[in-house]
Structure 1
């Protein structure tokens, strides 16, 4: 259809140019051309072609208009900005707390926005603790990081056994000290049930995250393992851990990535991870943040 529209102006232009000629023969050609043009424009075939062409042009314009209306904005799959979906406490002032040393020594690590955004604000110093808390085995680096290993207490030299602790769960507390929820950090929501109850639930391949504190920077690359007792008549199962840690002084997130699963008869005992990589996270984990409320 476009070629037809383009052809007619060319014919008309050509005829117009010929109009400047003065010879009688050329004048006859001009008149003949005009009659041909008029004849073409009046034919039913030309009218039908133009109707079809106009309809096609209208359809194209309508399609473009619909595309502008129906194009959906890109949805980011990144979870680097931590947020709880369907957050129910928008009318309350809620703090993000950890309680590694009991209710007497809570540590505030951030706040919740009205819309469910998690605003981390880690304290520069840990709370004042008793001598017993500071010097206990559970406050030593080996226990915080390598307690899963069969030789964990031997993996850190005594001079490097700096003060540290695993913060435990990320808890939601109202400003008037009511415990209203806990936050899980996982790569896949299907991993939640196992994180809550690893003794009875089945794991999947994926990652979960923990928050720890170390008094000084610490780096480590290496491996360790432990054994898990199986049913009578079966050899113990070996669980391997591969570490790649670069911890800064203060609070750090650690990723535990389940690389392989030892399958069992679920009627006897739950399956369990037997190959796990343990890696320090730079900043805040890029994961799913899931709230469980009370």
Structure 2
């Protein structure tokens, strides 16, 4: 800066003499001086601005220190995983790990007795003292609903147009549950679901989570009194938001169910996922396809999930 201030008077003297007649050489010097002046004045102005800013910052900083208190960084708390809360899962030997409840009955509920305030059910299996699961449904279900009532009682709520259902022997008696109740001393202590995903086996039992896109499958138990079938294939597009902020998706839902008289099983698969990472937890994902098919036996990769009754 000092050097600039020493040069500036000389330049001004040269520039001031341009009002008089000048030789070409003098004019060149004056032109050069004008350019240097402009450059120097620009530099001086920028430095002045910077000085003013620095002085202003120095005045502000003490005020900030005196008026602003430093807030501690909040400690993050790990939220409990709802899919494993009060939940036990089986190993490859169909045995619940860490089971310590003694023996328990696995039952299929079919009606509610309002007069006696109790659930009517039949026993379909048991959990042994060591957590081993045994299933052998043989009893008949005494109270059934017509097959064509499925459009009003479908637990998955994934067909939007009831006319999409096609029934064979629509008056056949029918009952479907995607879970078994676990009873001990005539009291329900939990539920048992079968599938290959802790998320899917809970999502498809939870009204607000039915449309989540976590992939996997859940098995349902079905009893019918006559041979019958349910078919449907619906392509749908629209809003599946739980929060009021629209999330538009396209879904395909297929039912290809053929039942023999007695006990049957249905495999419900969630295939494909729409991810919404910036949405609220209730809208974090949506399924692309649900595929419902009849199966003859429990798949080899299936896991048994026991959830304590405290959740329900």
Both proteins in one fold, TM over 0.5: yes
Q: CA deviation at 1:288?
A: 0.6
Say if 2:275 is the partner of 1:266: no
The one-character-per-residue Cα deviations of 1:39-58 (angstroms, maximum 9, x if unpaired) are: xxxxxxxxxxxxxxxxxxxx
Residue 235 to residue 290, structure 1, CA distance change in 2 (3 Å)? closer
Q: TM-score if structure 1 supplies the norm length?
A: 0.58
Alpha-carbon distance, 1:291 to partner: 1.1
In structure 2, relative to structure 1, the CA distance for the partners of 1:203 and 1:150 (3 Å cut) is: closer
Once the two structures are overlaid, the 10-residue window that deviates more, 228-237 or 180-189, is: 228-237
For residue 72 of structure 2, what is the aligned residue in structure 1? none
Q: After the TM superposition, which of the residue ranges 183-192 and 217-226 deviates more from structure 2? A: 217-226
Unpaired segments ≥5 residues, structure 1 = 1-76
Query: 1:155 aligned to 2:169?
Result: no
Structure 2 gap segments, 5+ residues each: 1-89, 113-117
Distance in 2 between residues matched to 1:233 and 1:147, nearest whole Å: 20
Counterpart contact for 2:230–2:257, Cα < 8 Å: yes
What value does the CA root-mean-square deviation take over the aligned residues? 3.4
- Between the aligned partners of 2:182 and 2:163, the Cα distance in structure 1 is 33
Q: Contact 1:241/1:277 (CA < 8 Å) preserved in 2?
A: yes
Per-residue CA distance 1:142-200 (angstroms, 9 max, x = gap): 556696322335523484242111225311101x2121121122213354553454635
Count of residue pairs brought into register by the alignment = 208
Q: Distance in 2 between matches of 1:199 and 1:142?
A: 19
Contact 1:141 1:163 in 2 (8 A): no
Distance 2:203 2:245 in 1: 26
**Which of the residues 269, 285, 289 maps onto 2:304?**
289
In structure 1, the residue matched to 2:195 is 186
Q: Any idea what SS the aligned residue of 1:210 has?
A: strand
Larger mean Cα displacement after TM superposition, 198-207 or 251-260:
198-207
Q: Distance in 2 between matches of 1:266 and 1:278?
A: 28
After superposition, the C-alpha distances for 1:17-40 in whole angstroms (9 at most, x for unaligned) are: xxxxxxxxxxxxxxxxxxxxxxxx
Q: Is the 8 A contact 2:122 2:139 kept in 1?
A: no
Q: What does 1:86-125 correspond to in 2, within 5 Å?
A: 86-90=98-102, 93-102=103-112, 103-125=118-140
Please state how far the C-alpha of 1:124 moved relative to its aligned partner.
Answer: 3.6
Equivalent runs, 1:62-141 vs 2, <5 Å? 79=92, 82-90=94-102, 93-102=103-112, 103-127=118-142, 129=143, 134=144, 140-141=149-150
- 8 Å contact 2:167–2:231 — kept in the other structure? no
Cα distance in 2 for residues equivalent to 1:288 and 1:167: 17
Supply the distance in 2 between the matched residues of 1:193 and 1:233 (Cα, whole angstroms). 24
Could you tell me how far apart the structure 2 residues matched to 1:147 and 1:197 are? 11
